[in-house]
A and B are shown apart, each in its own frame.
Chain A
């Protein structure tokens, strides 16, 4: 294609009248993995929401182009069908809807949107079970309602399962590593790496460099106070891990106690 998969220019975003992103620039090409690191509250999740089209976040300046198309007017479901996947930092519980059922609806909604034939229940089941096996997700868990009563680790593995089933072109994974033990981290890391192909791209948001042992990034960026303050290669993550985000953030204000 030659064109960037994702091109974010001077992006300013506000929520509830408060500016959160203050001029983000980022170019992601197909085949690349970008890691975004940064302190809490720096706007990482906000960036992921804006890419996915979450209502309530207003773009006040700048632009987002995805595969040559202006992303901003598209509703979330259209972006999903066009291949954007968001792995949530806090996956949402959907009581009463079995994970398998949810995936069937999601997959077929996307296929329908793209003018592809919908899969029957059997087809979806086979696909989901195959991917679930790789992530050591049991058949029982697939019958349970989406994220309901799941442990933190189960929720994150379930996000990766959804990604594997939906086969996105651009995956944004928001702190998929938090709350995972070493084994789960490996499963998730392997799951993500398996989806790494020349025509896909990933943005991996994380606090810790340990995930990046499993998903080796091509680029690492530091987001601080709504701006990308540093960019580099893999080694930047290691450096940050050693030295923290010192200098990326003003000293924390200690709230006065009443």
Chain B
């Protein structure tokens, strides 16, 4: 592969420091197996955290000890032994990074190829520490400068704890309290790293922000913590992760994402998740237990979640909006694809507290193979939410006859002026449509991909352009082998 001239300069400039970085990381980034108060202290100490941060973690840990793993989701998996994990290991650390493409799992490379990701990015995503990595160093630098000019803070949460403690203190746990739920509480105790974003009043963030552009993004651990604050009248679009599979030996991912939108602010949060789903027999794969919640604190604020969930063996995820400010708007656009033995229990919660609050839910579930997909959604209208409105559209598409789709809507209305509408459909991939596509020259797999993309279009439209293109390809890749 060829490196751009700026890359080479960046490599030369950064070369020494990076080599150093690798060595120290290998030596230091391990904690003993298992979970205890000492481990929590160890993590906090490693990060040189202030006392208040450690206290918060410890409170979470003690609380977690009293909690039960939730069992209400329609997912089925063997008991997780929480003592059989590392809570602070260099996550797929620099030390174990493959040195060249030859060392990378060929199946992983094939997936990247199918996704049409250029070689350099493939190497980066597979964790190969070569030019590609440095390539992104220069990208990061230009990004950082532009953002700095706009007054946007975009850094890791660990840095934010050090550099912006007041803000972290004020907002961390303000949307997802440390005692919120089993997985979120565990995350609060042991979160490894994650992203912090602050957009100052009146600023429209000059570019889409993505963890992809942060070097440590490729290495964020299984307990990510993300906090995004959009101050009055600001706007930000945030893309989570990247479109390529991040494979990880670790089984459990328990991330927490908190969003806060003040008066007239808008946050658009997009995710394309395609972690390792396990093999065709259902062995391996990531357990993805995520708590994502946005608080529309201010008047006229808006939070919009768009997600494309194609990966993980188990997905347990309900990006939600608390519509506290009057006239605030919450949106949830979701595509959940399950194949083989994957299980997804996903949906949203729209909590209407303020007056004239509006929410819109469009959920598309596609199940193939022997997979199970459940949409679970709550629309709650509080007594004060005069004039609240919700519209929910929930469509399931079944491919084959061994899979299942389930819709579980919960609706609570405690204000008589509210309007709540729920529509749901379930259909099978039609033989007629398949034949029509194939008659025009598409092979069976391309036909499925095209039909499913059509089925999901309403949601795909809400993704930022580049993301949408990747997501469309991903839809095809994740359904491979679903028709004979």
Q: Is B435 an interface residue (CB 8 A)?
A: yes
Which of B35-43, B187-195, B439-447 is found at the contact surface with chain A?
B439-447
Q: Is A164 an interface residue (CB 8 A)?
A: no
Cross-interface CB contact of B458 among A85, A96, A109, A162, cutoff 8 Å:
A96
Cross-interface CB contact of B451 among A55, A85, A91, A97, cutoff 8 Å:
A97
Residue on A nearest B442 in the bound complex, by CB: A109
B451 touches A80 (CB 8 A): no
Chain B count of residues within 8 A CB distance of the other chain: 23
The answer for the CA separation of A54 and B453 in the assembled complex, in Å, is: 23
Q: Is B438 an interface residue (CB 8 A)?
A: yes
The answer for the CA separation of A76 and B433 in the assembled complex, in Å, is: 13
The answer for the CA separation of A106 and B446 in the assembled complex, in Å, is: 10
A-chain residues with CB within 8 Å of residue B454 when the two chains form the complex: 94-97, 145
B-chain residues with CB within 8 Å of residue A145 when the two chains form the complex: 454
Contact with A along B415-437 (1 / 0, CB 8 A): 00000000000000011110111
The answer for the CA separation of A52 and B454 in the assembled complex, in Å, is: 24
Chain A count of residues within 8 A CB distance of the other chain: 31
B-chain residues with CB within 8 Å of residue A93 when the two chains form the complex: 433
B479 smallest CB distance to A (angstroms): 15
B-chain residues with CB within 8 Å of residue A96 when the two chains form the complex: 453-458
With A77-B443, A81-B441, A96-B455 known as contacts, the answer to whether A54 contacts B450 (CB < 8 A) is no
B441 touches A92 (CB 8 A): no
A-chain residues with CB within 8 Å of residue B438 when the two chains form the complex: 53, 75-77, 80
A177 smallest CB distance to B (angstroms): 20
Q: Is A113 an interface residue (CB 8 A)?
A: yes
Residue on A nearest B432 in the bound complex, by CB: A92
A147 smallest CB distance to B (angstroms): 9
The answer for the CA separation of A91 and B456 in the assembled complex, in Å, is: 21
With A94-B454, A96-B457, A102-B450 known as contacts, the answer to whether A109 contacts B436 (CB < 8 A) is no
Please indicate which of the listed interface residues A55, A96, A106, A109 has the most CB atoms of chain B within 10 Å of its own CB. A96
B453 touches A109 (CB 8 A): no
Q: Is A107 an interface residue (CB 8 A)?
A: yes
The answer for the CA separation of A197 and B154 in the assembled complex, in Å, is: 64
A98 smallest CB distance to B (angstroms): 9
Cross-interface CB contact of A97 among B435, B444, B450, cutoff 8 Å:
B450
Q: Is A29 an interface residue (CB 8 A)?
A: no
The answer for the CA separation of A140 and B388 in the assembled complex, in Å, is: 36
The answer for the CA separation of A96 and B444 in the assembled complex, in Å, is: 18
A152 smallest CB distance to B (angstroms): 17
A76 touches B439 (CB 8 A): yes
Cross-interface CB contact of A105 among B433, B446, B455, cutoff 8 Å:
B446
Q: Is A188 an interface residue (CB 8 A)?
A: no
With A55-B431, A92-B433 known as contacts, the answer to whether A102 contacts B455 (CB < 8 A) is no
The answer for the CA separation of A153 and B441 in the assembled complex, in Å, is: 24
B-chain residues with CB within 8 Å of residue A92 when the two chains form the complex: 430, 432-433, 435-436
B147 smallest CB distance to A (angstroms): 32
A-chain residues with CB within 8 Å of residue B453 when the two chains form the complex: 96-97
At the interface, is chain B mostly helix, strand, loop or mixed? helix
B441 touches A55 (CB 8 A): no
B441 touches A113 (CB 8 A): yes
The answer for the CA separation of A227 and B451 in the assembled complex, in Å, is: 36
A-chain residues with CB within 8 Å of residue B458 when the two chains form the complex: 96
A19 smallest CB distance to B (angstroms): 21
A-chain residues with CB within 8 Å of residue B457 when the two chains form the complex: 95-97
Residue on B nearest A85 in the bound complex, by CB: B439
Cross-interface CB contact of B443 among A52, A88, A109, cutoff 8 Å:
A109
The answer for the CA separation of A77 and B446 in the assembled complex, in Å, is: 11
The answer for the CA separation of A107 and B433 in the assembled complex, in Å, is: 17
Q: Is A110 an interface residue (CB 8 A)?
A: yes
A-chain residues with CB within 8 Å of residue B444 when the two chains form the complex: 75, 77
A111 smallest CB distance to B (angstroms): 9
A-chain residues with CB within 8 Å of residue B455 when the two chains form the complex: 95-96
Q: Is A220 an interface residue (CB 8 A)?
A: no
B398 smallest CB distance to A (angstroms): 16
A-chain residues with CB within 8 Å of residue B432 when the two chains form the complex: 92
A-chain residues with CB within 8 Å of residue B435 when the two chains form the complex: 52, 54-55, 76, 92
Please indicate which of the listed interface residues A55, A85, A97, A113 has the most CB atoms of chain B within 10 Å of its own CB. A97
A167 smallest CB distance to B (angstroms): 12
The answer for the CA separation of A61 and B430 in the assembled complex, in Å, is: 29
B-chain residues with CB within 8 Å of residue A109 when the two chains form the complex: 440-443, 446
Q: Is A202 an interface residue (CB 8 A)?
A: no
The answer for the CA separation of A85 and B435 in the assembled complex, in Å, is: 12
B-chain residues with CB within 8 Å of residue A113 when the two chains form the complex: 441
Cross-interface CB contact of A166 among B441, B446, B456, cutoff 8 Å:
B441
The answer for the CA separation of A107 and B456 in the assembled complex, in Å, is: 23
B166 smallest CB distance to A (angstroms): 47
A102 touches B440 (CB 8 A): yes
B440 touches A94 (CB 8 A): no
A-chain residues with CB within 8 Å of residue B430 when the two chains form the complex: 92
B439 touches A86 (CB 8 A): yes
Residue on A nearest B430 in the bound complex, by CB: A92
B261 smallest CB distance to A (angstroms): 30
A77 touches B431 (CB 8 A): no
The answer for the CA separation of A94 and B444 in the assembled complex, in Å, is: 15
Given contacts A79-B439, A80-B440, A80-B441, 11 further A-B contacts (CB under 8 A): A56-B431, A86-B439, A88-B439, A92-B430, A95-B454, A102-B450, A105-B442, A106-B440, A109-B442, A109-B446, A110-B441
- Could you tell me which B residues sit within 8 Å of A by CB distance? 430-433, 435-444, 446, 450-451, 453-458
6 contacts between A and B (CB under 8 A): A94-B437, A96-B457, A96-B458, A97-B453, A97-B457, A105-B446
Q: State the 8 A-B residue pairs at the shortest beta-carbon distance, nearest first.
A: A96-B454, A96-B457, A106-B440, A97-B454, A110-B441, A76-B438, A92-B436, A109-B441
